[in-house]
A and B are shown apart, each in its own frame.
Chain A
Amino acid sequence: MGVFLQYTVIGLTVGSFYALVALGYTIVYGIIRLINFAQGDLSMVGAFLGWTLLVSFGFEHLPIYLALVIAFVVPMIGTAVVNLGILQFAYKPLLRRSLLAILITALGMSLLLQNAAELIWGAAIEAYPPNLLPLSGFFVGPVHVTYVQIALVTASLLLMGGLVAFVQGTTMGTAMRALAVDHDAARLMGIDVDAVIRIAFVLGAMLAAASGVMLGIYYVQIHFTMGFLLGLRAFTAAVLGGIGNIPGAMVGGLLIGLLEAYTTGYLSGTWEDVVVFGVLITVLIVKPTGLFGERVAERM
Chain B
Amino acid sequence: MIAQLAERPVGRAYATVRDRLGRTPYWSRVIVVLVAIGAAVISWGDDYVTAVAVSVATYAMLGLGLNIVVGYAGLLDLGYAAFFAIGAYTSALLMTQAHWNFFTTLPFAVLFTGTAGAILGYPTLRLRSDYLAIVTLGFGEMTRITFNNWEFAGGPNGVLGIPWPNFFGYEFNTQGDFFIVGLFLLAIAMIFAEHLDHSRLGRGWVAIKDDEFAAESVGVPSLRLKLFAYVMGGMWGGLAGAFFATRIGAIDPTSFTFQLSVLILIVIVLGGTGSLPGVLLGALVVVALPEVLRELSDVRLLVFAILLVGMMLLRPQGLWPRIRRKPKPFYGLEEEEAEDTAARILREHQVQMEARDRRHAAAGHKVPSVGETLLQVEGVVQQFGGLRAVDNVSFNVRRGEIFSIIGPNGGGKTTLFNCITGVQRPKRGQVLFDGRPVVGLRPHVIVARGIGRTFQGIRLFKNMAVFENVMVGLYPRHRTMTWQAMLHTPGERKDELRTLQESRRWLSFVGLESVAGRLATELSYADQRRVEIARALAAHPHLVLFDEPAAGMNPTEKLELVAIIRKIRDLGITVILIDHDMSLVMRVSDRIAVLDHGILIALGKPAEIQNNPAVIEAYLGREDDDMGTLTAQEA
Contacts and interface: CB of A to CB of B under 8 A. Distances in A.
B and A form one assembly? yes
Interface of A: 29, 33, 35, 90, 93-94, 97-105, 107-109, 111-112, 114-116, 118-119, 228, 232, 235-236, 239, 243, 270-271, 273-274, 276-278, 280-281, 284-285, 288-290, 298, 300
Given A101-B312, A277-B139, 16 more contacts: A94-B312, A104-B266, A104-B308, A111-B305, A235-B134, A271-B145, A274-B142, A274-B145, A274-B149, A278-B138, A280-B134, A280-B138, A281-B124, A281-B138, A284-B135, A285-B123
Contacts of A274: 141-142, 145-146, 149
Interface stretch (B125-133, B177-185, B418-426): B125-133
B129 to A, nearest CB: 6
A111 B308 contact: yes
B392 interface: no
B302 A285 contact: no
Contacts of A118: 298
A164 B302 CA distance: 36
Contact of A35 (B130, B273, B317): B130
A108 B270 CA distance: 12
Interface string B545-560: 0000000000000000
B74 interface: yes
Contact of A105 (B139, B301, B312): B312
B262 interface: yes
A237 to B, nearest CB: 10
Contacts of A278: 138, 142
Nearest to A238: B134
Contacts of A105: 308-309, 312-313
B131 A284 contact: yes
A233 to B, nearest CB: 11
A108 B302 contact: no
Given A90-B313, A100-B273, A112 B302 contact: yes
B304 to A, nearest CB: 7
Contacts of B317: 98, 101
Given A97-B316, A270-B148, A112 B123 contact: no
B470 interface: no
A186 B130 CA distance: 23
Contact of A108 (B146, B299, B309): B309
A101 B269 contact: yes
Contacts of A284: 124, 127, 131, 135
B308 A271 contact: no
Contact of A288 (B131, B134, B142): B131
B445 to A, nearest CB: 23
Given A280-B138, A298-B129, A270 B149 contact: yes
A108 B302 CA distance: 9
Name the residue in A29, A235, A300 with the highest tally of chain B Cβ atoms < 10 Å from its Cβ. Answer: A300
A99 B209 CA distance: 12
B452 to A, nearest CB: 25
Given A108-B308, A284-B135, A285-B123, A115 B302 contact: yes
Contact of A109 (B128, B145, B258, B309): B309
Interface in B104-139: 123-124, 126-131, 133-135, 137-139
Nearest to A288: B127
SS of B interface (majority): helix
A134 B4 CA distance: 75
Given A104-B269, A239-B131, A277-B141, A90 B298 contact: no
A108 B124 contact: no
A297 to B, nearest CB: 9
Nearest to A116: B302
Interface in B296-333: 298-299, 301-302, 304-306, 308-309, 312-313, 316-317
B308 A35 contact: no
B447 interface: no
A90 B309 contact: yes
B485 to A, nearest CB: 25
B520 to A, nearest CB: 17
B190 interface: no
A110 to B, nearest CB: 8
Nearest 4 CB-CB pairings of A with B: A277-B138, A112-B305, A101-B316, A115-B302
Given A104-B266, A107-B266, A280 B301 contact: no
A280 B146 contact: no
A92 to B, nearest CB: 10
6 contacts: A29-B130, A108-B305, A232-B258, A236-B138, A288-B131, A300-B129
Contacts of B308: 104-105, 108, 111
A273 B145 CA distance: 8
A285 B146 CA distance: 21
B76 interface: yes
B229 interface: no
A115 B130 CA distance: 26
B392 to A, nearest CB: 29
B265 interface: yes
A112 B306 contact: yes
A93 B130 contact: no
A119 B298 contact: yes
B123 A281 contact: yes
A273 B302 contact: no
A243 B129 CA distance: 12
Contacts of A33: 130
Interface in B354-399: none
A93 B134 contact: no
A285 B124 contact: yes
B70 interface: yes
Q: Which of B76, B130, B270 has the most CB of A within 10 A?
A: B130
Interface in B172-194: none
A112 B309 contact: yes
A298 B128 contact: yes
A119 B300 CA distance: 11
Nearest to B303: A115
A190 B134 CA distance: 35
Contacts of A235: 134
Interface core residue of B70, B124, B209 (most chain A CB under 10 Å): B124
Contacts of A90: 309, 312-313
Given A29-B130, A115-B299, A239-B131, A270 B312 contact: no
A164 B448 CA distance: 51
A33 B301 CA distance: 27
A111 B317 CA distance: 21
Nearest to A97: B316
A104 B74 contact: no
Contact of B135 (A103, A232, A281): A281
A83 B190 CA distance: 41
Contact of B313 (A94, A111, A112, A280): A94
A104 B312 contact: yes
Contacts of B142: 273-274, 277-278
Contacts of A104: 265-266, 269-270, 308, 312
B309 A281 contact: no
Contacts of B76: 100, 103
A101 B317 CA distance: 8
Contact of B316 (A98, A232, A271, A289): A98
Contacts of A93: 313
Contacts of B266: 104, 107
Contacts of B74: 300
Interface in B19-63: none
Contacts of B265: 104, 107
A141 B129 CA distance: 47
With most chain A CB atoms within 10 A of its CB, the pick from B131, B265, B270 is B131
Given A115-B305, A300-B209, A288 B126 contact: yes
Contacts of A289: 131
A97 B131 CA distance: 20
B391 to A, nearest CB: 26
Contacts of A115: 299, 301-302, 305
